[in-house]
Structure 1
Amino acid sequence: MQTASPSRFYWANFGIPLACAAVVFLMFDMTKIDIAFSNLLFDPVAQIFPLDKVHFFEKLTHKWARIIPNWTAEIALIGAILSFVWPLVNPQKHPRLGGFLERCKAAPVLRFTHAHRRDFLFVVFAFAICTGVIHFLKAHTSVYCPIETTLYGGKLAHVEWYNNFQLFREAGDGRCWPGGHASGGFTMLALYFVARRYRWRFSKAVMWGSLLLGFIYGTARVLQGWHYMSHTFWAGIFVWLACLLTALAFYGRVRLEKPVLQKLERAEQVAQPQVAG
């Protein structure tokens, strides 16, 4: 989120997500809205969520959808590894090897990864930390998915996450809160912070696109009965905070809060006096 001062930066990037967390907690966790919405998707006669039985929907939204975050993480990891290769090549000391890499078009790739080592490492760490945070919360709240509970034909009791939360040990076998599939889409927010580092004019589009992807992933699982809607919101909040803290560690606040180049260029144009022809 683009800001112009430290206080606005912290308010926008920490305050808004925390305010959203309070709203989600009061609106969903303290009410029956989640259950009421899932009831609309459940067939009480057949005791199933109809979309959970559609093979193509499952493959499209759960299997194939993983390609985007999975490939992003893999590319970032490969880039991070390759970023250490170019200094080892050292074309000045090994001109033949350097010449070979230039001829086979590998040298530009190695130079690029070396120049952007911090960015590749940030994406790798951000993905890993986000995944770790979500898995920690799943294990330490032990919430079962709607389809597994007695509310929708399952055998386990419906329990809210705050009733089961254990900080220092696993709370049980449930692994449904927050939404894991949604978090996979939300982890693409790591690319937004890379874009902010370089003040890319389309950084906001990356942010909104990542948020949309996470909500699509999460909603698909809600339709299948494997999550409540609030699980998606919680996943987005935790992933945002994890990415933000990781970005602050890698890039620092000053770099992240600078305006995008497009806005800066416009401001400079307005500030310049017009010269009469």
Structure 2
Amino acid sequence: MKSSYVRFAALNLIGLLLSGLLFTWIARDGALDFRLAQLFFDPVTHGFPLRISGPLDFWGHTMLKLFTVWILVIAAVVLVVSNWVDALKPWRRALFLFVLMAGCAAFVVQTLKGVSVHSCPWDINTFGGTAQWFPLFGPIGAMSGSGLCWPGGHASGGFAVMAGYFALRDSKPKLARAILWFSLGIGAVMSLVQMARGAHFLSHNLWSMWLVWATCFVIDALMRIILPPARVAR
């Protein structure tokens, strides 16, 4: 591997380790998560008023989710079409990596969310629900509730777009960085929407971002061995 990639990989490993420790520390007692959730909680009605907000649910939840899904669908379609369109052939490897990494990242997050024992804020007794909160890596509470709320699935759609950064980092560095910032921005917006609705804590979304980045990084490293850029037909 080139020395530039070795440096990139080392920085990623260090960054993932340090951010993982930071996110674990943030979720150790739920203090920050609860403090932010309280900003959107109404103690009078014992609920999150924006949970049933039509515009926020439609534009912030449904439409943003569809937007990120269509990015992946369009990329997959263009990848297939690139087999017959010469102008798209130079983009074939990047498109393939984007679809692969984004799809796998979303799958990882949704799989973990599907077996999670951690409940959403609106299900926790502090916020009008019945479930008991407990630390991410702590003993499961006797009243853990329905679970299925860690990591943040909605935000993962926005963060998954960062697969484009890994796919284009070598060939189109400026475009790759623009995609990275776009992904982080839309992921942050989707995270805020779910926090405002009482659907997720901050730490849920931070771990979603971490898992997406880690998945993309691992796949990118493996594909550099299996399918290096120099061996891709143009």
Structure 2 length-normalised TM: 0.85
* Aligned positions of 1:203-218 closer than 5 A: 203-218=176-191
Deviation at 1:31, TM superposition (A): 4.5
Aligned to 1:157: 132
Retained in 1: the 8 A contact 2:24–2:136? no
Aligned counterparts of 2:74 and 2:139: Cα–Cα separation in 1:
37
Q: Which amino acid aligns with 2:17?
A: L
Retained in 2: the 8 A contact 1:83–1:117? yes
* Aligned positions of 1:10-89 closer than 5 A: 10-84=9-83, 86=84
Aligned counterparts of 2:4 and 2:93: Cα–Cα separation in 1:
25
Aligned counterparts of 1:164 and 1:217: Cα–Cα separation in 2:
29
Retained in 1: the 8 A contact 2:95–2:167? no
Retained in 1: the 8 A contact 2:131–2:145? no
Aligned to 1:105: none
Aligned counterparts of 1:247 and 1:172: Cα–Cα separation in 2:
37
Q: Which amino acid aligns with 1:224?
A: R
Aligned to 2:86: 111
* CA shift digits 1:122-143 (9 cap, x unpaired): 1221122111211222133321
CA RMSD of aligned residues (A): 2.5
1:148 corresponds to which of 93, 102, 123: 123
Retained in 1: the 8 A contact 2:29–2:135? no
Deviation at 1:172, TM superposition (A): 8.7
- Which deviates more, 197-206 or 207-216? 197-206
Deviation above 4 Å: which 4+ runs of structure 1?
Answer: none
What SS does the aligned partner of 1:116 have? helix
Larger Rg: 1
Return 5+ residue gaps in structure 1 as ranges.
Answer: 87-109, 166-170, 257-277
Deviation at 1:66, TM superposition (A): 1.6
* CA shift digits 1:220-275 (9 cap, x unpaired): 1001100001111111111001111122233459x89xxxxxxxxxxxxxxxxxxx
What SS does the aligned partner of 2:199 have? coil
Return 5+ residue gaps in structure 2 as ranges.
Answer: 230-234
Q: Which amino acid aligns with 1:177?
A: W
Percent of paired sites with the same residue:
27
Aligned to 1:246: 219
* CA shift digits 1:143-172 (9 cap, x unpaired): 11010121211122223332368xxxxx99
Retained in 2: the 8 A contact 1:185–1:213? yes
Structure 2 CA distance for partners of 1:149 and 1:31, relative to 1, 3 Å: closer
Deviation at 1:191, TM superposition (A): 1.0
Aligned to 1:177: 150
The answer on 1:235 being equivalent to 2:208 is: yes
Deviation at 1:6, TM superposition (A): 4.7
Structure 1 length-normalised TM: 0.73
Aligned counterparts of 1:186 and 1:131: Cα–Cα separation in 2:
9
* CA shift digits 1:88-109 (9 cap, x unpaired): xxxxxxxxxxxxxxxxxxxxxx
Aligned to 1:220: 193
Q: Which amino acid aligns with 1:83?
A: S
